C-alpha cells in the first residue's frame, strides 16, 4: 500500500474520531437536558401487536403440551393444523358472503394462534416428550433401584450438602447434572431409552473430580418422578459408584477458557472474585449462599446470570468500535452478530444462553435498523421461535422474567422516561424508567416465586448501572486474552474485577438496610395484585386506553392517579401493613421484640407455641397478631429475666392459652402467671432436663438445665429445648434448638453428655454474646441460625466471637436488628425465609 493510501486512511480515521467526539458531546448535552414542563407530550406511535396471537398460542401450547402423553400431543397437533388451515382458507377467499370482506382480519388471529400452537405440539412429538420408558415409571413407583447407562448433557454443578434425613448428617460435596438415559437394564438385558433425567450423586461415588458434559457412565440409581411437565421427568439418585463407559472426554476449548478465567478470578478481593465469573458467563459456583441471598434482597441477582443486557453490551461495543473505524452499517451488523455468536459459544450452548442471546439481539437489531417501534413484534417472534425450539422454556421463571422485562421496557420504559424528563435530566430519567419498567413488568412472576419484593431494587440498579458495561466488556475480552497473553488477560481480569467487587459490596450493604425485603400478600391475591399494578401502569401511560368519547381525558387522568398511588406503595414501606402468611404457611418466627427473645413455633391445628415474650407486651402481641395466632398451645419462659418474660401479659388477653412452662434459679420467686382470653388461666409448671411433650404437629424435649449442673447466674437456668416440627414431604421432621440465654460452661456440659445434636434451626444463645460459647455451632451444624437482638444495643450483641464461629461452620445467620421479624417456612424442598422491618407500635 503506497503512502497516499496510508494518508487517506489516516485522514478518514481522524475524521471519524472527530465525528464520534461531536456525537458524544451532543448526546451528553441531550442526556443532561430536561424537557420543558409545559411542552406537550409527543403522541406515541402505534406498537405492532399482531404477533401477540401467535405468541399466546405458542405459550399456551407449550405450557399444556409438556404435560400430555404422545397420543394427546398428536391429537392436538392434528386438530390445530386443521383449524389453522380452515382459517387460512377463509383468508384466501375473495369474498366472505354475508359477513363481508371487512371481516378478513378476524380470520388472521385464529390462523396465527392455531398455527403457532400446532408447531409447538409437533416439536414435542419430535422430541419424544410424551414417551417415557415403562421401566423408569415402575422404578419410581416401587422405589427399587435400576441400573442405567446415561450421558451427561451438561457440566455437573457442585454443592455442599448435608443429608439431614439420615443418621449421618455430615457435610459432603454433592453433584447435580442433567443427563440423558441411553439404556436401562431390565430382566438381564439392556433396553434403549433416550429420556432426559436429573442425576444426583456424592463426590465420593464419582471416578473423577469433575466429569465434563458428554461423559458416558453406568450407575445403579433410585428413581423418583419429577413434577408433571418438567423438562427432566425423573430424578435419579446414585446408590452405587459411577462407572465410566469409555474414556473421559477432554474439556473443550471454551470449557478450558472458562476454567482458566475462574482460576484467574481467585486472586481478586471478595466478593469480586466470586461475582465476576457469574457476571461474565453465568458461573455462580464461587458465590456462597450469603452473597447470593444479599444480591437477591438488593434486587441485583439478575447481574450474576447471563442476560440479554450482556449480549446487547457485547454487540454495542463491537458496533461502536466498527463505526469508529469507519465501517459501514452492513459490515458492522455482521461483525456484531459474529461477536454475539462467539459470546454464546464462550458462555455455553444452553437454553438460558440462547434465550439471552435472542433477547439481546432484539435491542441491538432494533437500534441498528432504526425501527424501535418494531421491537415488540421482534420480541413476539423471538418468543415463538424459542418456544418452537424448546417448549419447556414456557414454564421456566427465567424465561418468563426475560420476556416480561423486555416487554416492560418497550411498552412502559420510553413513555415513562418522557414524563420523568420533565423533572430530571434525560440520562437519569431513562435509567429510572428502564429499571422501574422492568421491575413492574416482572412483578407478577417475582411475587409468585416468593411473596416479597426488593424495596431498594430500582435505586440499587441505578447505582450499579455504570459498572455493568465495563465489567461485561473487560471481563469478556479477558477470557480469550488469558489464553493468548496471560499478563494482558490478568490485567483485564483486574479491570473487570474491581468494579465487580464494588457491585458486590454495594449489594451486601443495600441488603442490610432496614426493610430491604418487603412482604407481599401470598397466593392468588398477591399475584392478582401484581397483575393489577402492571395493567394499571399500562393504562396510566396510555399504552392500553379503555377510554372512549368525551370521558377519555378524565379516565386517563384518574388511571394515572391510581397508578401513581400504587407506585408510591411500591416505593414506600406500606406493605408492612399486609398480614404475613396464615398459620399453615410458616414453621418458626423470630419476633422483633428489641433487645430480648420472642419466638413462635407453628403447631398446625393446635395453634402455636410461644418461646419467651420479650420485654414489652405490645411487641409480642403484635407479632402474634400478624401471624394470625388465635390459640396458644403452650408458652415457654426459658428463664426469669425481663427481656424474656416481661411481655408475658401480651400473649393471653386476646387468645386462649393451654399451658405455661418455665425455668428459674430462685425457687423462692413466684412463678409466672398469665391471663388467657378463654377465662381459664393455665397453671405454670417448672420444667427440667428430660421433660417431653407435644402439641399438634410439634413435639419437644427439654435438654437443660441439668439438675446439679453448672450454674453461674439466672442465664444458666435457661430451658434448652429441642422442637421437632412435622412438615409434608421429608422423611423426618424439621428441628429447632432453642437455647435461651444459657452460657458457655453450662452449654458445654450438655454437649459433653451427648444431649445436644444436629438441628436444622438454631436460636443462638444469649443474643449472640461472647459468653454463649463457640462449641454449639459445630455440634448442631444448623442450616439457619437466628439471633434475637435489639438494634444499637449497648451490650455489643452479637459478638464477633459468636458470628465468627457461625461463619466458620458455614451457617446462614439472620438477625432481628437487621431483618426485623424473621419468618421461616418450608417450600416442599427446603427452608424458605421472609422478613419484615421492625414492628410499628400498635
CA distance 538 to 520: 21
| 600-609 pLDDT tens trace | 999 888 889 9
pLDDT higher than threshold 50 for residue 575: no
- Please indicate, yes or no, whether residues 594 and 715 belong to a single structural domain of this protein: yes
| Model pLDDT, residue 165 | 35
CA distance 632 to 655: 7
| Model pLDDT, residue 774 | 82
Please check whether residue 33 lies inside any domain of the structure.
Answer: no
| 213-248 pLDDT tens trace | 778 888 888 887 766 667 777 878 888 888 888 766
Q: Domain count of the chain?
A: 5
pLDDT higher than threshold 90 for residue 186: no
Nearest Cα to 582, choosing from 535, 530, 536, 625? 625
Q: Rounded mean pLDDT of 150-178? A: 63
- Please indicate, yes or no, whether residues 402 and 422 belong to a single structural domain of this protein: no
| Model pLDDT, residue 263 | 82
pLDDT higher than threshold 70 for residue 460: yes
Please check whether residue 31 lies inside any domain of the structure.
Answer: no
| 663-694 pLDDT tens trace | 988 776 778 887 776 667 788 888 888 888 88
**Whole-Å CA distances, 76 to 131, 157, 389:** 16, 37, 18
At 430 the three-state DSSP class reads helix
Contacts of 18 (CB under 8 A, 6+ apart): none
CA distance 283 to 299: 19
- Please indicate, yes or no, whether residues 749 and 761 belong to a single structural domain of this protein: yes
- Please indicate, yes or no, whether residues 645 and 717 belong to a single structural domain of this protein: yes
Please check whether residue 7 lies inside any domain of the structure.
Answer: no
- Please indicate, yes or no, whether residues 501 and 523 belong to a single structural domain of this protein: no
Nearest Cα to 476, choosing from 203, 276, 269? 276
Highest averaged pLDDT of the listed ranges 52-56, 357-361, 452-456? 52-56
| 383-409 pLDDT tens trace | 888 888 888 888 777 788 778 887 887
- Please indicate, yes or no, whether residues 656 and 763 belong to a single structural domain of this protein: yes
CA distance 534 to 544: 11
Last residue within a domain, chosen from 518, 535, 555:
518
CA distance 290 to 663: 36
H or E segment to which residue 297 belongs: helix 289-297
Please check whether residue 10 lies inside any domain of the structure.
Answer: no
Please check whether residue 17 lies inside any domain of the structure.
Answer: no
Task: Give residue 191's domain range.
Answer: 134-250
Query: Residues 200, 235: contact at Cβ < 8 Å?
Result: yes
pLDDT higher than threshold 70 for residue 752: yes
Rounded mean pLDDT of the chain? 75
Query: Residues 622, 842: contact at Cβ < 8 Å?
Result: yes
- Please indicate, yes or no, whether residues 386 and 281 belong to a single structural domain of this protein: yes
| Model pLDDT, residue 369 | 58
- Please indicate, yes or no, whether residues 362 and 319 belong to a single structural domain of this protein: yes
Please check whether residue 16 lies inside any domain of the structure.
Answer: no
Amino acid at each position: 500500500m503506497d503512502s497516499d493510501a496510508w494518508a487517506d486512511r489516516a485522514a478518514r480515521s481522524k475524521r471519524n474520531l472527530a465525528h464520534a467526539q461531536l456525537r458524544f458531546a451532543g448526546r451528553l448535552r441531550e442526556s443532561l437536558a430536561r424537557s420543558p414542563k409545559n411542552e406537550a407530550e409527543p403522541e406515541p406511535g402505534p406498537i405492532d401487536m399482531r404477533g401477540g396471537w401467535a405468541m399466546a398460542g405458542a405459550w399456551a401450547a407449550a405450557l399444556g403440551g409438556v404435560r400430555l402423553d404422545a397420543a394427546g400431543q398428536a391429537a392436538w397437533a392434528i386438530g390445530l393444523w386443521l383449524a389453522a388451515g380452515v382459517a387460512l382458507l377463509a383468508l384466501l377467499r375473495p369474498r366472505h358472503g354475508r359477513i363481508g370482506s371487512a371481516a378478513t382480519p378476524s380470520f388472521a388471529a385464529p390462523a396465527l394462534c392455531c398455527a403457532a400452537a400446532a408447531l409447538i405440539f409437533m416439536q414435542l412429538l419430535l422430541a419424544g416428550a410424551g414417551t417415557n420408558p415403562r421401566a423408569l415409571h415402575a422404578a419410581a413407583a416401587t422405589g427399587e433401584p435400576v441400573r442405567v447407562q446415561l450421558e451427561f448433557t451438561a457440566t455437573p454443578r457442585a454443592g455442599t450438602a448435608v443429608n439431614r434425613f439420615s443418621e449421618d448428617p455430615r457435610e459432603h460435596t454433592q453433584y447435580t447434572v442433567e443427563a440423558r438415559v441411553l439404556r436401562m437394564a431390565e430382566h438381564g438385558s439392556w433396553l434403549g431409552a433416550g429420556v432426559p433425567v436429573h442425576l444426583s450423586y456424592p463426590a465420593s461415588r464419582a471416578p473423577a473430580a469433575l466429569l465434563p458434559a458428554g461423559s458416558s457412565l453406568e450407575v445403579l440409581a433410585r428413581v423418583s418422578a419429577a413434577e408433571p411437565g418438567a423438562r427432566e421427568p425423573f430424578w435419579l439418585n446414585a446408590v452405587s459408584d459411577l462407572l465410566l463407559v469409555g474414556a473421559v472426554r477432554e474439556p473443550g476449548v471454551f470449557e478450558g477458557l472458562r476454567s482458566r478465567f475462574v482460576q484467574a478470578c481467585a486472586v481478586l478481593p471478595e466478593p469480586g472474585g466470586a461475582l465476576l465469573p457469574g457476571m461474565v458467563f453465568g458461573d455462580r459456583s464461587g458465590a456462597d449462599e450469603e452473597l447470593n441471598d444479599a444480591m437477591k434482597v438488593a434486587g441485583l441477582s439478575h447481574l450474576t446470570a447471563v442476560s440479554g443486557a450482556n449480549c446487547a453490551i457485547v454487540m454495542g461495543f463491537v458496533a461502536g468500535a466498527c463505526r469508529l473505524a469507519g465501517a459501514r452499517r452492513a459490515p458492522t451488523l455482521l461483525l456484531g452478530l459474529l461477536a454475539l455468536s462467539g459470546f454464546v459459544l464462550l458462555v455455553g450452548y444452553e437454553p438460558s444462553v440462547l434465550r439471552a442471546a435472542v433477547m439481546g439481539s432484539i435491542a441491538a437489531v432494533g437500534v441498528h435498523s432504526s425501527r424501535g417501534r418494531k421491537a415488540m413484534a421482534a420480541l413476539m417472534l423471538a418468543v415463538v421461535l424459542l418456544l418452537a425450539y424448546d417448549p419447556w422454556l414456557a414454564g421456566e421463571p427465567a424465561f418468563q422474567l426475560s420476556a416480561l422485562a423486555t416487554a416492560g421496557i418497550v411498552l412502559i420504559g420510553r413513555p415513562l422516561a418522557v414524563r420523568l424528563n420533565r423533572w430530571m435530566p434525560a440520562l437519569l430519567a431513562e435509567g429510572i424508567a428502564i429499571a422501574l419498567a422492568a421491575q413492574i413488568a416482572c412483578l407478577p412472576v417475582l411475587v409468585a416465586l416468593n411473596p416479597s419484593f426488593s424495596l431498594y431494587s430500582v435505586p440499587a440498579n441505578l447505582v450499579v448501572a455504570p459498572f455493568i458495561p465495563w465489567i461485561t466488556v473487560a471481563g469478556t475480552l479477558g477470557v480469550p486474552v488469558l489464553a493468548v497473553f496471560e499478563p494482558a488477560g490478568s490485567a483485564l481480569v483486574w479491570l473487570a474485577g474491581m468494579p465487580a467487587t464494588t457491585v458486590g459490596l454495594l449489594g451486601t450493604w443495600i441488603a442490610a438496610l432496614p426493610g430491604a425485603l418487603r412482604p407481599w400478600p401470598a397466593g392468588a391475591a398477591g399475584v392478582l395484585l401484581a397483575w393489577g399494578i402492571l395493567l394499571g401502569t399500562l393504562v396510566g401511560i396510555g399504552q392500553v386506553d379503555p377510554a372512549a368519547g368525551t370521558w377519555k381525558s378524565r379516565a386517563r387522568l384518574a388511571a394515572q392517579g391510581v397508578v401513581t398511588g400504587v407506585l408510591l406503595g411500591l416505593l414506600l414501606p406500606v406493605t408492612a401493613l399486609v398480614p404475613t402468611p396464615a398459620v399453615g404457611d410458616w414453621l418458626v418466627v423470630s419476633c422483633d421484640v428489641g433487645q430480648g427473645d420472642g419466638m413462635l413455633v407453628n403447631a398446625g391445628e393446635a395453634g402455636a407455641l410461644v418461646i419467651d415474650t420479650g420485654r414489652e407486651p405490645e411487641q409480642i402481641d403484635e407479632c402474634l397478631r400478624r401471624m394470625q395466632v388465635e390459640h396458644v398451645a403452650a408458652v415457654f419462659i426459658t428463664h426469669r429475666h425481663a427481656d424474656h418474660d416481661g411481655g408475658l401479659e401480651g400473649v393471653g388477653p386476646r387468645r386462649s392459652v393451654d399451658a405455661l412452662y418455665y425455668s428459674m434459679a430462685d425457687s423462692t420467686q413466684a412463678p409466672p402467671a398469665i391471663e388467657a382470653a378463654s377465662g381459664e388461666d393455665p397453671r405454670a409448671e417448672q420444667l427440667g432436663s428430660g421433660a417431653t411433650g407435644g402439641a399438634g404437629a410439634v413435639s419437644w424435649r427439654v435438654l437443660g438445665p441439668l439438675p446439679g449442673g453448672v450454674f453461674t447466674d439466672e442465664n444458666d437456668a435457661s430451658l434448652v429445648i429441642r422442637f421437632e416440627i412435622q412438615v409434608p414431604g421429608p422423611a423426618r421432621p424439621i428441628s429447632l434448638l432453642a437455647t435461651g440465654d444459657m452460657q458457655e460452661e453450662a452449654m458445654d456440659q450438655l454437649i459433653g453428655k451427648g444431649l445436644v445434636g444436629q438441628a436444622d434451626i438454631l436460636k443462638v444463645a444469649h443474643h449472640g454474646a461472647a459468653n454463649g460459647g463457640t462449641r454449639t455451632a459445630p455440634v448442631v451444624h444448623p442450616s439457619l441460625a437466628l439471633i434475637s437482638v435489639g438494634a444499637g444495643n449497648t451490650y455489643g450483641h452479637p459478638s464477633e466471637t459468636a458470628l465468627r464461629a457461625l461463619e466458620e461452620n458455614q451457617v446462614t445467620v439472620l438477625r432481628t436488628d437487621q431483618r426485623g421479624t424473621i419468618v421461616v417456612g418450608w417450600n416442599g424442598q427446603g427452608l424458605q425465609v421472609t422478613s419484615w422491618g421492625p414492628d410499628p407500635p400498635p
